[in-house]
Chains A and B, each alone.
Chain A
């Protein structure tokens, strides 16, 4: 019984982290699906979202506003606004001029952008990690109080529900709306979509904005969940989310969700049963294994090389 409760606890922790990874992974997978580049600076966009959320929350607290839903909604809106503007600007400045050149050139440009943004926040906000207030406290407990107790905090429930809402909204947007249809068309064949009168530049910008917005949501949620942020915290999260995107099959949106959940669970199982220090080793090891044996991921389509 106790073992089962312990296992359940790890599963819950894993699903929480995993759903947040999935939110970030959407940004990687959509951009890759459309222009075939790894947006290396995506983790930094997520970090900027977390910073903006913290700045908004602190500002609202200074103004004396204490109603929790209002704080969360305003923080969310601000984070999404800043991150999506950043995503748009990054694409405009660093990726559009190098689009269509040799594969490595956009990637190096993206790495440069990632270093730039990390240091931009570092210079402006300092390099120390800053405490993020735990706005949502409390939770449920299972199991008898004298042995191991499984707990689900309200924060974890919030993360799970928010992710669910975002994913549903995204799926509806992609499948139903006009822009969503254009997105799918562009990801199938950019040149052809262009010929058929779709403004591909606008669609690519839209992709970056959607990805950045979801990353900002994840930034707010994970910032609150972890309780502190620093300018480097986007880097590892970005790598993890990329792993999730590859795991599920890069370019596929349901794949990113699945990959995020699998990665989150395997990570928390490693922390729970082996040691927390090796959880990064496990996720990178997983990435290497997936790329070696099934480079298309779980739900991805194989890429055919045409000559």
Chain B
């Protein structure tokens, strides 16, 4: 047994060297038109060797390590705790929720412009993740082209403004509905496909939308994108220094305060907050309605659900359409926040980030998804020196989550009723 372990450990160490040294240790550098090879610095080489040694030792003593891991006491102090009483828990939930919302409403007035801007981006991702959560988490349909619906929302607003001068508030429902229509159109034929085929088809669809946006230059401006997208107005009030649109008034003139660029940022943040709350509440209601229950039923056991009379197509289609609707919502806000959109913003990686948020948060769990969106968008900003490792860590986190905690950091709590103890 020991000899076999040693052989296996040696093999693993050699594989580690083979897969890391050529890529990490030898760098291709372009010098003029020629490409030359440069060895990496000593630190890199040493860390490659250390990694190989670590793999060797781990594999050699794997049985011992795994054995002692199993014997370790459970560190989670809440593991054996009695579940809270339902009424108490509900009250606690409400209090926490109200505090959070009030905090989120007041907070932007005291911090810098940059952080409010970032918070708006987080809210956009929360909307996206909540929408994808319906499709992936609740209905169990892996959608890898979700970003296409986001793009539809953003481009709807940009194009409607460019050609018909339509404002944010009119474009918002239109963008969302058009995205939902796209979802319906794509969903109708593809939803009878099996899970992993569906994933690839949606991925292909996302790429097709992006390529079309890139190449239909006469309509979308191609890779140059569309600029000059206006900020939202609030009851006909604009936030610029001067009135752009006939018939509008200026925010700082109406309230008789001095002009500040911050007003616009804060109002945009508050609009995004309201829309994100709207998304969360609507989806929460959906999960308690029969249609939401049938999403979960179909995810858990398709055959059983169908034999109980659920229509597979309409249930899946509803999840797909609702998910797409909220992506369109987020897209419109995104276009308004950036003022400029181009196909660059809607690549597959974006879909992967949204999917990572849903997976990390716990598929189906709203609170988990919201916290994960906050973490995924803000952490790279805090640790800027690590920002180039962001995607690397994303990928790693996705793999590790699937291995150790496929249900996510905050798994979904099923609706249930506890039986009262008999006296």
Given the known inter-chain contacts A59-B37, A112-B396, please indicate yes or no for A128 contacting B30, CB distance below 8 A: yes
Say whether A121 contacts B23, CB under 8 Å: yes
Specify which chain A residues have a CB less than 8 angstroms from the CB of B303 in the assembled complex.
Answer: 305, 307
Given the known inter-chain contacts A82-B19, A288-B205, A307-B303, please indicate yes or no for A112 contacting B28, CB distance below 8 A: no
Given the known inter-chain contacts A81-B18, A284-B208, please indicate yes or no for A124 contacting B27, CB distance below 8 A: yes
- The reply on A131 being an interface residue by CB < 8 A is yes
Residue of A with least CB distance to B204 = A284
CB distance from A47 to the nearest CB of B (A): 10
Specify which chain A residues have a CB less than 8 angstroms from the CB of B276 in the assembled complex.
Answer: none
Residue of A with least CB distance to B356 = A112
Say whether B392 contacts A58, CB under 8 Å: no
Q: Looking at the complex, which of A95-103, A140-148, A161-169 is the stretch in contact with chain B? A: A95-103
User: Please, how many angstroms separate the alpha-carbon atoms of A246 and B200 in the complex?
Assistant: 10
- The reply on B26 being an interface residue by CB < 8 A is yes
User: Please, how many angstroms separate the alpha-carbon atoms of A13 and B210 in the complex?
Assistant: 26
User: Please, how many angstroms separate the alpha-carbon atoms of A239 and B352 in the complex?
Assistant: 15
User: Please, how many angstroms separate the alpha-carbon atoms of A239 and B206 in the complex?
Assistant: 12
- The reply on A68 being an interface residue by CB < 8 A is no
Q: Which residues of A from 48 to 105 have beta carbons under 8 Å from B?
A: 48, 51-52, 54-56, 58-59, 62, 78, 81-82, 85-86, 88-89, 93-94, 97-98, 101-105
For A, the interface residue count at a CB cutoff of 8 angstroms equals 70
- The reply on A108 being an interface residue by CB < 8 A is yes
User: Please, how many angstroms separate the alpha-carbon atoms of A105 and B241 in the complex?
Assistant: 52
- The reply on B54 being an interface residue by CB < 8 A is no
Say whether B399 contacts A125, CB under 8 Å: no
Say whether B23 contacts A48, CB under 8 Å: yes
Task: Please report whether the interface of chain A is mostly helix, strand, loop or mixed according to DSSP.
Answer: helix
CB distance from A289 to the nearest CB of B (A): 9
Q: Looking at the complex, which of A175-183, A190-198, A253-261, A273-281 is the stretch in contact with chain B? A: A273-281
Residue of B with least CB distance to A107 = B196
User: Please, how many angstroms separate the alpha-carbon atoms of A51 and B19 in the complex?
Assistant: 12
Specify which chain A residues have a CB less than 8 angstroms from the CB of B140 in the assembled complex.
Answer: 104
CB distance from A205 to the nearest CB of B (A): 11
Specify which chain A residues have a CB less than 8 angstroms from the CB of B199 in the assembled complex.
Answer: 38, 104, 107
- The reply on B207 being an interface residue by CB < 8 A is yes
- The reply on A111 being an interface residue by CB < 8 A is yes
Specify which chain B residues have a CB less than 8 angstroms from the CB of A210 in the assembled complex.
Answer: none
Given the known inter-chain contacts A82-B22, A130-B35, A278-B215, please indicate yes or no for A288 contacting B28, CB distance below 8 A: no
Please give the residue numbers on chain B whose beta carbons come within 8 Å of chain A beta carbons, in ascending order: 15-16, 18-19, 22-24, 26-28, 30, 33, 35-37, 136, 140, 142, 144, 189-190, 193-197, 199-201, 203-205, 207-208, 211-212, 214-215, 303, 348-349, 352, 355-356, 359, 388-389, 391-392, 394-399, 401-403, 406
The 6 closest A-B pairs by CB, nearest first: A112-B398, A116-B395, A115-B395, A284-B204, A109-B402, A119-B392
Please give the residue numbers on chain A whose beta carbons come within 8 Å of chain B beta carbons, in ascending order: 37-38, 48, 51-52, 54-56, 58-59, 62, 78, 81-82, 85-86, 88-89, 93-94, 97-98, 101-109, 111-126, 128, 130-131, 133, 235, 239, 242-243, 246, 275, 277-278, 280-281, 284-285, 287-288, 291-292, 295, 305, 307
